Amino acid sequence: MRSFSGIQPTGRKHLGNQIGAISQYVSAQDRGEGIFCIVDLHAITVSYDPAELRERTHDTAAILLAAGLDPARCILFRQSDVPEHTELTWLLTSLAELGRLQRMHQFREKSPAQRELVSAGLLLYPVLQAADVLAYRADEVPVGEDQREHLELMRDLARRFNARFGGGEEVLRVPEHRIPAVGARIMDLQEPTRKMSTTLSTGQGIVYVLDEPDAILKKLRSAVTDSGSEVARGEDKPGITNLIEILAAVRGQDPAAVEAEFSDAGYGAFKTAVGEAVVDYLAPIRERYAELRADEGRLESILADGSAAAHAIARQTVAEVRALMGVGAPHAGASPVVGTVGG
């Protein structure tokens, strides 16, 4: 079982990233082969600062390692160090529908904010994301609920390539999504109908992985709740539902068990319990991060080793794709072209 996932180096990582994505990366190491990528090329599709991008890349690498990724058990690398990602993106654009890309939620949400320039990179972001995964013939992609739309495009591109160029064979693996049953979508603490986000959440609405314990407790104790006093999930109780999901996720419990435990507790006691659990959950990551981040030489060595391993895999996939599409000079052992783009 091969898992692949990418994570943006922009922004500070928050509780939603940790529960919905990073914790899944760590567990993937126990299920099989894990390949994880810091997607710095995705980060340049919006306005950014080059020096900050490099700093955030190291920040992200340190957080992933502090959370439990083990370079001896997985491949961790920087996206831009493996040129096959961009080459496969261009090859896949011949199979991607313009209208569908324009309707993708990320393009529709982020393009209005790019007042000076709506980049073509933002439009092609989902194709690059597809190339990220398909280059490694991954079986599964650990993602949050908000990435389901992009994953479906990825699956469709793989099927379309296989039908047109692969003679029906699964040259490009059609990956499955892996969305956690609990904590797939952690919401803003102050606006619990909206996802926790580094760009949309307020300071009090977001818990960062590296927040100090006192800050975490303050944010959870001031989290917006709902009318009534019962600790129970419901469509009319988004605040308490979110807190139940958070506590269940950090404890590794079913949300129903959390409801049963706190059925007689008031909102105040419950929010304090959630805050204390989150502090305990994040403490080991924060403590280990400080040590890892201080050694940039070690971080670069880990990323370089990962890039070499990733390149060896992606190079084989892209060589086969090029041969089947009739791109480039033929070489010994190349597969014949079995279809056409109009087929």
pLDDT in tens, 115-147: 778 889 899 999 999 999 999 999 999 876 677
For residues 34 and 36, give the distance between their C-alpha atoms in angstroms, rounded to a whole number: 6
For residues 138 and 34, give the distance between their C-alpha atoms in angstroms, rounded to a whole number: 9
Reported as type and span, the H/E element at residue 52 is helix 50-67
pLDDT in tens, 282-317: 999 999 999 999 999 999 999 999 999 999 999 999
Radius of gyration of the chain (CA): 21
- The percent of residues above 90 in pLDDT, for the chain, comes to 70
Mean pLDDT, the chain, integer: 90
Topology match between the domains 2-183+296-325 and 203-292: no
DSSP 50: H
Sequence ranges of the domains in the chain: 2-183+296-325, 203-292
**Predicted confidence (pLDDT) at residue 159 exceeds the cutoff of 70:** yes
Percent helix, strand, coil in the chain, to 5, is 55, 10, 35
| Three-state DSSP class for residue 74 | strand
Q: Residue 262 contacts by C-beta under 8 Å, 6 or more apart in sequence? A: 231, 269, 270, 273
CATH topology of domain 203-292: Tyrosyl-Transfer RNA Synthetase (1.10.240)
Mean pLDDT of 254-280: 94
pLDDT at 118: 83
| Three-state DSSP class for residue 92 | helix
Torsion of CA 319, 321, 324, 329, to 10 degrees: -40
CATH architecture of 2-183+296-325: 3-Layer(aba) Sandwich (3.40)
Q: At what angle do helices 50-67 and 267-293 cross, to 10 degrees?
A: 110
pLDDT in tens, 22-65: 998 998 888 889 999 999 999 998 888 999 999 999 999 999 99
Q: Residue 313 contacts by C-beta under 8 Å, 6 or more apart in sequence? A: 35, 135, 136, 137
For residues 217 and 278, give the distance between their C-alpha atoms in angstroms, rounded to a whole number: 8
pLDDT at 257: 95
DSSP 319: H
For residues 177 and 341, give the distance between their C-alpha atoms in angstroms, rounded to a whole number: 27
| Three-state DSSP class for residue 7 | strand
pLDDT in tens, 64-111: 999 999 999 999 999 999 999 999 999 999 999 999 999 998 888 888
For residues 24 and 47, give the distance between their C-alpha atoms in angstroms, rounded to a whole number: 29
Q: Residue 274 contacts by C-beta under 8 Å, 6 or more apart in sequence? A: 220, 223, 243, 246, 247
Neighbours of 169 (CB within 10 A): 12
Contact 151, 177 (CB under 8 A): yes
CA-wise closest residue to 36 among 16, 22, 56, 15: 22
pLDDT at 331: 63
For residues 66 and 34, give the distance between their C-alpha atoms in angstroms, rounded to a whole number: 16
